[in-house]
Structure 1
């Protein structure tokens, strides 16, 4: 299948139709299942690297594009092909900007450097052993390496700070493997152990740097080296300055692509699992509850290990659902009562078990949870079921398992569908919130008119600047929100931190909500800038789980009140249509804004602040003892 996919891409390129057909590339690569073939992916990347982004966007303007600045300690161009292919697998077009060889400090810190004005989303700075060892004297001891490592860390911290000041993009560094050719220059084992300790401390401090530097991500290469083999090809390292080898760069490109995807708000939220030969060994309808296993045998233990990993994902906010060809009562009873199961029926927010097609299950699960199908990851061992879901629900990610349960974990984790820059307590609380949503849904069914439902819900709102500990959640909300994202903008944590300082007239507002079923936390955000006597609203975001409850009106109304109180005579706002925010197109007019002008891709509105809409009557304000404002 890999050859077939490559042949199709080659034929499209030969016919000059690759840009015109770019919208089909992700589906083609998904069907080919070439994700485990680094050579094939590199060839795909080489083919796609010749694509003209302008021509692609002219034919497919909704294609997501990520601009990536690439620099480092040594030769970095070889990462472009695998990165192009990895992003293409997720439907994203790469626009690379390459820095000068070995000039990463200049590239990332000089306002007039290679990356100035590039508007990059990501800056990949590939580090290697020379980042430290170039500072070591010709004859050295472990303490010389320790001093060199300290110098390198201080430099990298300065580079990260300078990049954050110059660019709103995310900077990516990486840990550095220790070459055996250096450790074994030391002839005694105690010195080698001391060097190993120094080196690991350098990498540990580098990893911890991301916790205190907004806009910095550090990729740990150790797990990639452990699975992928040697760090470099000896000859290429010496003769071409390529000190990170092709297999390692391919694995690194996959991690970087997952990061780029998450920054674009494409992190998945729900894992939809088959049961037979996926969560347990055996077929329930044929073998009965006593004939299935997730422990007690070699194969059973492999299924148990898979369940343990799924449970770990759920503990970090990944929603779990079941799509199975089984009798529902028997499936639920097996999950509830079988002694082998690490996952129980209560761990799942939805269980669809019947004899209907599984693409229908996915639509039901998405609808029940209030999610788009692009938030789902479907996992099944059946090639036919996976093919059906790919065809009928193309937005869902599909993970095809095979007959070897020992490989289930690696296949599930390989594409990092749930990766994100940081994890918040709001993420960890997601399963509780979705169970609370069940209570709201039941109340809605019992209540007649929508007005009665909203009144009985007892919604409380609080609007004010985000607290420092909420900045990661604020950025996350902007990255993941699609349906109520009025200008299609997303923000990094570094951008949120800069805007929260109030420089350049910036205004950030967060809205938090609670009701009789529990606290929903930070659910909406607004970004604006004061320009003379006007307040320009740059974007408004609202989580889809609280849409149509009046919370968005409370947020914007609060911004209008603040603008009038501060002496503004006008509030302006932009609506930029995206493939998913069409239902929010009338939001500004509904709040008393008048259209000023319209052009392709943008409508500008203005509010004269004479009549500000009142907060919806069913909402109540709540106090904020921590110091934020109230609506």
Structure 2
């Protein structure tokens, strides 16, 4: 029996035996083996599960609350969403509104949509959107007027959603396919072209509404329909008021799941590539470094297209690594032998070329980069090697490549593993910063002791109010940082923007640089002031700068500033999260005393009597207002 058949059989058995809720952690691995048709069936099985039963059996399961409403029947979307989220280890808690009442659902703050308290609200625009208000005889100009009315209505609904949905919730719209049965009601070719232009402008205006910082996202359905997915079935529309095909809803659900994962910060960081049959044609050990590209062949062009796709991802912050069963020297020669290739040795942050297990290789790469192995996407054309990594690297995404290189890019991009709400300047420079880190490591290895190494770095830290251009980066740190996120709280850009507008709140960006380069924004401090003093609600520091004393310098400088401002105390919170256990004692190590314990949370208090020193190897500038700046030596009592 095939792997797909075995996975289907196991899912059915779990369902029939009533064990599916208890086995929910096994579901992502089973779904990873299914094709689209089998996934549709699995979604119908999983949609019968009670989310409460799953959470009772596995309270740690990450859940996503989604409300679905639309112009027509959207119930068919829930099973597809259930399966797509489950593929990524997420549990759907759905609310599906009735048919056609989306305006009332979204305009009324007391509606069931808002009562569901969704993380995502999907307002599904089907292909009859706009056309349900157009009556014959019509001309393109009349359609343009109705399309503009629809856009203005959707903008009003988005504003209502922003005002009444939970903080951090996202309102999701989509572009609207243009059906042939409308365009070809126009017999004049000029008028038909005019209608096409009007419709594309309407969809462009919808796409321009996308603003993750304001809690609005727009899914573009044109790539789905361009790939051959039919948008509607007139029979389902006429007899069931269902104006989206199952294929369109499945594609929509896939994109919505990618959005949910990106909003949670569950984005992969590193693409680990095999070489032979994956990045190039041929077998290096047999063909030699100069011949692995099958020169002047059409097949070589297919591999070149895949390398260009990989290069584009790398330009936006995706870390590239190699894990190949080859000897290191021929690999280096092969990458250097073809200067016309889009990728070279310098594009990879690490290369593991040996004859060991590829699962061990992936673990070695992750450890060297300081990331979790679950943050890796592994690409290999060998089914055997894929199974080795799937079994040996928990949480890693494994791409189903095969012997057809022309499809490698489609497989790589199918699941949006690297999607983020924003691409920041820090993302674009990530690979360079990892190379700077390698230089630091080499210098550390040559230093007499760690203290002299730190002093040699010339570390400079700037702490000050986050600028509007830094909001996206701080949100990204909040969503993606696990090890030094002292409460585990995840904040979207919209939430951070609102905090920045609160006169009693402080949102401080931590920026760092040293002799090897500028790391940009590497952390954030979220604080609040009241009569009891300064409350540190959370501190986040990127794992790539841990160990340089930056987090110690920031906390010590804040304590000094608080005493100079004559505050009565500084309060802090540590809350247990997925990977921050090692930081449980961080506050205590800086003189804080435990004030209370509740569940997995510890509240600390510092009386500001005995203060820790600011580490001498860090030069730190603290600014607590946009129009003032204090060097370490000149922080004034009025600065907090």
Same fold (TM > 0.5): yes
Partner residue in 2 for 1:341: 341
TM-score with structure 1 length normalisation?
Answer: 0.94
Deviation at residue 74 of structure 1 after TM alignment: 1.7
The answer as to 2:538 corresponding to 1:539 is yes
Deviation at residue 109 of structure 1 after TM alignment: 4.1
Deviation at residue 103 of structure 1 after TM alignment: 2.7
The 5 A counterparts of 1:341-420 are 341-420=341-420
The answer as to 2:571 corresponding to 1:572 is yes
Is the 1:67–1:122 contact (alpha carbons within 8 Å) kept by the matching residues of 2? Answer: yes
The 5 A counterparts of 1:378-527 are 378-502=378-502, 505-527=504-526
In the alignment, the residues of structure 1 paired with residue 294 and residue 66 of structure 2 have an alpha-carbon distance, to the nearest angstrom, of 44
In the alignment, the residues of structure 2 paired with residue 289 and residue 628 of structure 1 have an alpha-carbon distance, to the nearest angstrom, of 58
Flag structure 1 segments of 5+ consecutive residues without an equivalent.
Answer: none
Partner residue in 1 for 2:114: 116
TM-score with structure 2 length normalisation?
Answer: 0.93
Partner residue in 2 for 1:191: 191
In the alignment, the residues of structure 1 paired with residue 42 and residue 580 of structure 2 have an alpha-carbon distance, to the nearest angstrom, of 32
**Deviations along 1:607-630, whole A, 9 cap, x unmatched?**
334444332221102488985756
Partner-residue secondary structure (3-state), 2:129:
helix
Mark the CA change 1:59 to 1:607 in structure 2 (over 3 Å): closer, same or farther. Answer: farther
Q: Greater shift after overlay, 553-562 or 145-154?
A: 553-562
In the alignment, the residues of structure 2 paired with residue 380 and residue 430 of structure 1 have an alpha-carbon distance, to the nearest angstrom, of 24
Partner residue in 2 for 1:282: 282
The answer as to 2:247 corresponding to 1:253 is no
Deviation at residue 73 of structure 1 after TM alignment: 1.9
**Deviations along 1:375-405, whole A, 9 cap, x unmatched?**
2111101111111111111222111311111
Partner-residue secondary structure (3-state), 1:573:
strand
Is the 2:171–2:215 contact (alpha carbons within 8 Å) kept by the matching residues of 1? Answer: yes
Q: Greater shift after overlay, 613-622 or 374-383?
A: 613-622
In the alignment, the residues of structure 2 paired with residue 236 and residue 604 of structure 1 have an alpha-carbon distance, to the nearest angstrom, of 57
Partner residue in 1 for 2:163: 165
Partner-residue secondary structure (3-state), 1:291:
coil
In the alignment, the residues of structure 1 paired with residue 628 and residue 404 of structure 2 have an alpha-carbon distance, to the nearest angstrom, of 53
In the alignment, the residues of structure 2 paired with residue 162 and residue 561 of structure 1 have an alpha-carbon distance, to the nearest angstrom, of 43
Partner residue in 2 for 1:15: 17
In the alignment, the residues of structure 2 paired with residue 563 and residue 144 of structure 1 have an alpha-carbon distance, to the nearest angstrom, of 64
Partner-residue secondary structure (3-state), 2:518:
strand
The answer as to 2:187 corresponding to 1:155 is no
Q: Greater shift after overlay, 552-561 or 372-381?
A: 552-561
Is the 1:73–1:104 contact (alpha carbons within 8 Å) kept by the matching residues of 2? Answer: yes
Partner residue in 1 for 2:104: 106
Is the 1:326–1:355 contact (alpha carbons within 8 Å) kept by the matching residues of 2? Answer: yes
The answer as to 2:560 corresponding to 1:587 is no
Deviation at residue 295 of structure 1 after TM alignment: 5.0
Partner-residue secondary structure (3-state), 2:272:
strand
Partner residue in 1 for 2:305: 305
Deviation at residue 191 of structure 1 after TM alignment: 0.8
Partner-residue secondary structure (3-state), 1:116:
helix
In the alignment, the residues of structure 1 paired with residue 370 and residue 400 of structure 2 have an alpha-carbon distance, to the nearest angstrom, of 25
Partner residue in 1 for 2:635: none
Is the 2:21–2:53 contact (alpha carbons within 8 Å) kept by the matching residues of 1? Answer: yes
Is the 1:276–1:284 contact (alpha carbons within 8 Å) kept by the matching residues of 2? Answer: yes
Is the 1:295–1:303 contact (alpha carbons within 8 Å) kept by the matching residues of 2? Answer: no
In the alignment, the residues of structure 2 paired with residue 493 and residue 76 of structure 1 have an alpha-carbon distance, to the nearest angstrom, of 29
Mark the CA change 1:142 to 1:561 in structure 2 (over 3 Å): closer, same or farther. Answer: farther
Partner-residue secondary structure (3-state), 1:247:
helix
Mark the CA change 1:166 to 1:565 in structure 2 (over 3 Å): closer, same or farther. Answer: farther
In the alignment, the residues of structure 2 paired with residue 295 and residue 489 of structure 1 have an alpha-carbon distance, to the nearest angstrom, of 52
Mark the CA change 1:529 to 1:323 in structure 2 (over 3 Å): closer, same or farther. Answer: same
Mark the CA change 1:474 to 1:199 in structure 2 (over 3 Å): closer, same or farther. Answer: same
Is the 1:537–1:574 contact (alpha carbons within 8 Å) kept by the matching residues of 2? Answer: yes
**Deviations along 1:306-345, whole A, 9 cap, x unmatched?**
1111111111111111111112111111111135632111
In the alignment, the residues of structure 2 paired with residue 200 and residue 90 of structure 1 have an alpha-carbon distance, to the nearest angstrom, of 33
> How many residues in Structure 1 have an aligned counterpart in Structure 2?
626
Deviation at residue 41 of structure 1 after TM alignment: 1.1
In the alignment, the residues of structure 2 paired with residue 612 and residue 623 of structure 1 have an alpha-carbon distance, to the nearest angstrom, of 17
Partner-residue secondary structure (3-state), 2:112:
coil
Is the 2:289–2:337 contact (alpha carbons within 8 Å) kept by the matching residues of 1? Answer: no
Partner-residue secondary structure (3-state), 1:67:
strand
